Amino acid sequence: MTASVLEVAARLLPIILILGLGNLVRETSLLSEQSIKELKGLVINIALPAVLFGAFLEMDLDPSYLLIFAIVLLVCVLMYGLGHLLRTRVGESREYYPFLMTGFEFGMVGIPLFGAAYGLSAVGYIAIVDLSHELFIWFVFVTLLRTKRDGYGSVSTTLKSFLRSPLIIAILAALGLNISGLGAAFEAHAAGQAVTRTLELLGGMLIPVILLIVGYGMKLNPRNAMATMSVVVPRLVILVPTALLLNRVLASTMPGFSPAFEAALFTFLILPPPYVVPLFMPQGIADERTFVNNVLSVYTAVTLIIFVVYFSLNPMI
């Protein structure tokens, strides 16, 4: 089944318009940066967990998904190592270069893009792709960032943060119900239906609010343009062909690797680096902070362009 140009445009234009609205909100000072931070907290702690709980509760889990789990984890580790190798070519002063070469902004960019284009009911596919990435981010990425900032990284602190995260709690709870076979009983019970309906209503605000926040934060600074492209270009040159190649290989070798998984894996691998990097940077390194923020903004814009092209060619899953 194919989609017409008008049908594709009808699903893409709202994404672009809301992103533009976010930029307009910043330019007109309709909302302050503090208000945006509070909105972001609402999304991360309530709306995003609500959507992922429903996605993992209803997802048909298959042992073959472990292959996707392993591949994504390997990509994250290899890209981090590559970042250290390439850092010597752009200058040792770029201490956060390796952190910008790995990791993917799943929550603030992946879910709203994929969900807005393909529907929230399809979010489970990209959530499966993200699963091992969450472990990498929490137990490797964040720990290394903390070590760079504070001089040490506590595994116990990371574990506590991991287990207290509403996002992780929602994923683990849904996976527990799903794997145990209690998911159907939960959804059939009146109380479970009430919870599910509540989560659906909360999840409904996810896409427009996140797109507004992302649009608000997309500020391009001409400073360090060459340094910015030293991250954006090699990362995309590696990850876009990798996504296409993996999709081709997995589609021919992995049972159940549907077009929905192909779209999810491609979308995931073109996402910008994690937005948490600036949060773990110490004060007093303004130039490095500008460099990191520039990379995140430029990469997000490029991600949107690539996704629009991909979705235009693959509007149906």
Per-residue pLDDT reduced to its tens digit, 95-128: 899 999 999 999 889 998 998 899 888 898 999 9
pLDDT given for residue 4 in this prediction:
59
- Sign of CA pseudo-dihedral 17, 121, 297, 30: positive
* Average pLDDT of span 129-133: 93
pLDDT given for residue 245 in this prediction:
96
What does pLDDT average to over the chain? 86
pLDDT, tens digit, 9 for 90 and up, residues 50-77 = 888 888 887 888 888 899 999 999 999 9
pLDDT given for residue 153 in this prediction:
61
pLDDT greater than 70 at residue 5: no
253 CB-near residues (< 8 Å, 6+ apart): none
* Average pLDDT of span 168-181: 87
pTM attached to this predicted model = 0.87
Domains and CATH numbers, the chain: 5-313 (1.20.1530.20)
Q: Are 239 and 69 in contact (CB under 8 A)?
A: no
pLDDT given for residue 222 in this prediction:
66
pLDDT given for residue 311 in this prediction:
93
pLDDT, tens digit, 9 for 90 and up, residues 242-285 = 999 999 999 998 888 899 999 999 999 999 999 989 888 887 78
Q: Name the pLDDT band for 49 (thresholds 50, 70, 90).
A: confident
Nearest C-alpha neighbor of 26 from the set 209, 208, 216: 216
pLDDT given for residue 90 in this prediction:
67
CA dist list (Å): 192 to 74, 168, 175, 196, 308: 37, 20, 15, 6, 37
Q: Are 218 and 23 in contact (CB under 8 A)?
A: yes
Q: How many CA within 13 A on the CB side of residue 311?
A: 26
pLDDT given for residue 1 in this prediction:
46
CA dist list (Å): 164 to 47, 160, 167, 171: 16, 6, 9, 12
